[in-house]
Amino acid sequence: MKMNRNDHCWCGSGLKYKKCHMNFDEKYEKLREEGYEMPSRDIIKTPAQIEGIKKSAEITKGALDLVAEKIHEGMSTEEINTIVHNYTIEKGGIPAPLNYQGFPKSICTSINEEVCHGIPDKDIILRSGDIINVDVSTILDGYFSDSSRMFMIGDVSEEAKKLVEVTKECLYKGIEAVKPWGFLDDIGAAIQEHAEANGYSVVRDFGGHGIGLEFHEEPFVYHFGNKGEGMILVPGMVFTIEPMINAGGYSLFVDADNDWTAITDDGSLSAQWEHQILVTEDGVEIISK
């Protein structure tokens, strides 16, 4: 792909190359030659793809807002699944988890010591004191979105509340660490620092992920690590940040009954918040907000 200054840019913006991605390409090539780990070109989104992903994210966001309105003590996780499933279909989308690698439901619902990938069920009833993560992912016109929030049911212990709050802070510290032409691992470093300063641990076995044309794309986004390491972040990258933070240790096991649900080994509480973000020319945009 050799472009001339006055050609239309490869990104489909309709602008001349020199007014669009020419500087980007020069910077990208220079860093690559210097030996930095660069994202492959096919995960850098074009303006049209970004628009499609944002429309998908509108449904994910709307579904979570609806859950926030409807969630209550005594409700089953199956009912939450139905609410999101119906809303998504009504808006023209497809729930991305349904049948994904054999996943049987349209959302993940993970309660208390469940870390992630909890499966909605009519026999799982929300009780006062529970903390629950509801994880919603949508496909619209082939574009993927993914976001999750925590909900607190009835009277929740101070201990659980604090975990939920600190985990949300971890997500935002991770988002603030996103800088165009910065390092991917700065995100994990910021999250780990805040979690551990509060006496918590960061789950190692799952991370955030590139997303857009597929559910899970490159890169794998670590929620722990060292500043100044890892892939270079470039404008047009879209990925999730979704820290799972445990009140106790980070080790976990996967429920042998369903081969999906991850649960803390020591039975301690776990919380998770997730946003999908876009790296922009001058910072970061939360597209699931």
* Interface ranges with Co ion (CB under 5 A): 146, 240
* Residue 135 interacts with, from Co ion, ligand MF3, none (CB under 5-8 Å by kind): ligand MF3
Binding residues for substrate: 117, 216
In the complex, what is the shortest distance from the CB of residue 231 to ligand MF3, in angstroms, rounded to a whole number?
Answer: 19
Residue 264 to residue 250: CA distance in whole angstroms: 7
Sequence-distant (≥ 6) Cβ neighbours of residue 136 within 8 angstroms: 60, 63, 64, 67, 84, 95, 107, 146, 147, 148
Which CB sits closer to ligand MF3, 85 or 117?
117
Comparing CB distances to Co ion, the nearer of 146 and 217 is 146
CA dist 254 and 114 (Å) reads 10
Quote the least distance from Cβ 143 to ligand MF3, whole Å.
15
Q: Which residue in the shown chain puts its C-beta closest to ligand MF3?
A: 97
Closer by beta carbon to Co ion, 20 or else 203: 203
CB of 256 to ligand MF3, least distance (A): 17
CB-CB contact of 26 with 20 (8 Å): no
**Apex 260 CA angle, 109 and 157, nearest 5:** 40
C-alpha 135/C-alpha 15 separation (Å) is 38
> Closest approach of Cβ 105 to Co ion, in Å?
15
Which two three-digit tokens encode residue 246? 């445990």
Where do we find the tokens 């807002």?
Answer: 65
Q: Shortest CA distance to 270 belongs to which of 170, 106, 131?
A: 131
Q: What are phi and psi of 36, to 5 degrees?
A: -70, 150
Q: Give the nearest distance from C-beta 137 to ligand MF3 in angstroms.
A: 5
Q: How far is the CB of 109 from ligand MF3 (least distance, A)?
A: 11
Given ligand MF3, Co ion, none, residue 117, with its beta carbon under 5 to 8 Å by kind, binds ligand MF3
Which tokens belong to 79?
A: 């009912």
- Is the Cβ of residue 146 or residue 186 nearer to ligand MF3 in the bound state? 146
Choose among Co ion, ligand MF3, none what residue 97 binds, the Cβ cut-off being 5 to 8 Å by kind: ligand MF3
Known binding-site positions? 117, 135, 146, 209, 216, 242, 274
Q: Residue 256: CB partners within 8 Å, gap ≥ 6?
A: none
- Which of ligand MF3, Co ion, none does 100 bind, CB closer than 5 to 8 A by kind? ligand MF3
Give 108 or 231: the residue with its C-beta nearer to ligand MF3. 108
Q: 11 or 116: whose CB is closer to Co ion?
A: 116
The rounded distance, in Å, linking the Cα atoms of 65 and 88 is 12
Distance separating alpha carbons of residues 154 and 159, to the nearest angstrom: 14
**Residue set of the binding site for a divalent metal cation:** 135, 146, 209, 242, 274
Which of 71, 66, 111 is closest to 90 using CA atoms? 66
- Say which amino acid occupies 233: L
Interacting residues with ligand MF3 (CB under 6 A): 97, 100, 103, 108, 117, 135, 137, 146, 242
Q: Which is nearer to ligand MF3, 25 or 218 (CB)?
A: 218
* Cα angle: 154, vertex 157, 162; to 5 degrees: 110
Least separation in angstroms between CB 135 and ligand MF3: 4
